[in-house]
């Protein structure tokens, strides 16, 4: 990122002569935080912070750089984005998902509600980042083995009050096969107790930020060519698909290594299946 000029100057909401006018509050610019730039109306999630400022990514995947400081809104309230600091040594530990770790908790009986993901790699990534949270909440993550039989899988699960089902699909974009399958379930008899979300990536590999692997971007693979094999070939890796995934997964330590488009969807599913009354 290149240096910025502070186009906002001082915080116009600070020391306001109008006592009822809200004052900007400091807000750490942690990855995944969604903010609105007051001047341009641009809304995006924090994906990177460095000595110059912050990079936001909107829902279309487009990124823009802004200086840290005042001039942002969160939920209609003015905030001043500040650089995140390391957690204070207060005895609190943070899990890989960014939540406060619960120490010495007893194993909880698994909920009847479940989260389904498309395949093994999806399940392994969710476990690595959110495993602690899921065990604390008693949520089990299972593999669909592909989305083709989604309607049948949902019917067999028999969702209902106290038995919710959350599903995360790959490549859930307009016109995709996955979107058609999801829409069929959303219009079915179990819609009230099923939440289907998805990320825009062809495969969950793409949900890992390329910078984590030392890449500027994931390689482009022409339509019709197997995506994983195409990526491996273009990266020059002499690896089988499972070996390549282990290399990728091994670089993931925390939620900051993942794209916001995946982070928000997993958190949404966990909230859905753990809502009061869903157990």
User: Mean per-residue pLDDT for 102-107?
Assistant: 54
| 167 touches 150 (CB < 8 A) | yes
Query: Can you give the three-state secondary structure of the chain, one letter per residue?
Result: CCCCCCCCCCCCCCCCCCCCCCCCEEEECCCCCEEEECCCCCEEEEEEECCCCEEEECCCCCEEEECCEEEEEECCEEEEEECCCCCCCCCCCECCCCCECCCCCCCCCCCCCEEEECCHHHHHHHHHHHHHHHHHHCCEEEECCCCCCHHHHHHHHCCECCECEEEEECCCCCCCHHHHHHHHHHCCCCHHHEEEEECCCCCHHHHECHHHHCCCCCCCCCCCCCHHHHHHHHHCCCCCHHHHHHHHHHCCCCHHHECHHHHHHHHHHHHHHHCCCCC
Rounded to the nearest 10°, the torsion over CA 47, 51, 52, 53 is: 30
pLDDT > 60? residue 114: yes
Residue 55 — pLDDT band, cuts 50, 70, 90? confident
Over residues 216-267, the pLDDT tens digits come to: 999 999 999 999 999 999 999 999 999 999 999 999 988 888 998 898 899 9
Span of 79-93, 108-122, 136-150, 184-198 with lowest mean pLDDT: 79-93
Give the pairing type, strands 34-37 and 69-74: antiparallel
Over residues 170-219, the pLDDT tens digits come to: 988 899 999 999 999 999 888 899 999 999 999 999 999 999 999 999 99
75 Cβ contact partners less than 8 Å away, ≥ 6 residues apart: none
User: Mean per-residue pLDDT for 130-155?
Assistant: 89
Round to whole Å and give the CA distance between 198 and 184: 15
pLDDT > 90? residue 53: no
pTM for this model (two decimals): 0.64
User: Mean per-residue pLDDT for 67-72?
Assistant: 90
Round to whole Å and give the CA distance between 230 and 18: 60
Round to whole Å and give the CA distance between 265 and 104: 28
Span of 28-37, 88-97, 144-153, 202-211 with lowest mean pLDDT: 88-97
- The predicted structure's pLDDT at residue 52: 72
Q: Report which of 60, 76, 98, 67 is spatially closest to residue 24, judged by C-alpha positions.
A: 76
Sheet containing 140-143, strands listed edge to edge, beginning at the edge strand earlier in sequence: 140-143, 114-117, 165-169, 194-198
Which domains are assigned to the chain? 1-85 (no CATH), 114-208+252-274 (3.40.50)
Residue 17 — pLDDT band, cuts 50, 70, 90? very low
């Amino acid at each position: 990122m290149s240096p910025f000029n502070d186009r906002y100057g001082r915080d116009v909401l600070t020391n306001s002569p109008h006592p009822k006018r809200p004052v900007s509050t400091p807000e750490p610019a942690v990855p995944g935080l969604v903010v609105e730039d007051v001047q341009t109306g641009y809304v995006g999630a924090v994906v990177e912070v460095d000595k110059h400022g912050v990079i936001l990514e909107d829902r279309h995947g487009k990124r823009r750089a802004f200086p840290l400081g005042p001039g942002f809104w969160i939920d209609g309230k003015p905030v001043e984005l500040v650089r995140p600091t390391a957690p204070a040594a207060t005895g609190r530990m943070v899990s890989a998902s960014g939540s406060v770790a619960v120490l010495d908790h007893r194993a909880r009986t698994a909920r009847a509600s479940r989260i389904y993901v498309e395949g093994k790699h999806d399940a392994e990534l969710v476990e690595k980042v959110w495993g602690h949270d899921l065990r604390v909440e008693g949520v089990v993550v299972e593999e669909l083995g592909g989305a083709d039989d989604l309607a049948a899988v949902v019917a067999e699960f028999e969702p209902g009050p106290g038995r919710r089902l959350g599903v995360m699909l790959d490549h859930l974009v307009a016109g995709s096969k996955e979107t058609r399958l999801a829409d069929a379930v959303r219009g079915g008899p179990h819609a009230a107790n099923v939440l289907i979300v998805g990320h825009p990536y062809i495969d969950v590999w793409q949900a890992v930020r390329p910078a984590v692997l030392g890449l500027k971007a994931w390689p482009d693979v022409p339509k019709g060519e197997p995506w994983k094999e195409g990526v491996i070939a273009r990266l020059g890796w002499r690896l089988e698909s499972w070996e390549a995934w282990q290399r990728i997964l091994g670089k993931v330590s925390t939620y900051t290594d993942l794209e916001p488009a995946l982070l928000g969807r997993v958190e949404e599913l966990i909230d859905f299946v753990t809502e009061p009354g869903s157990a």
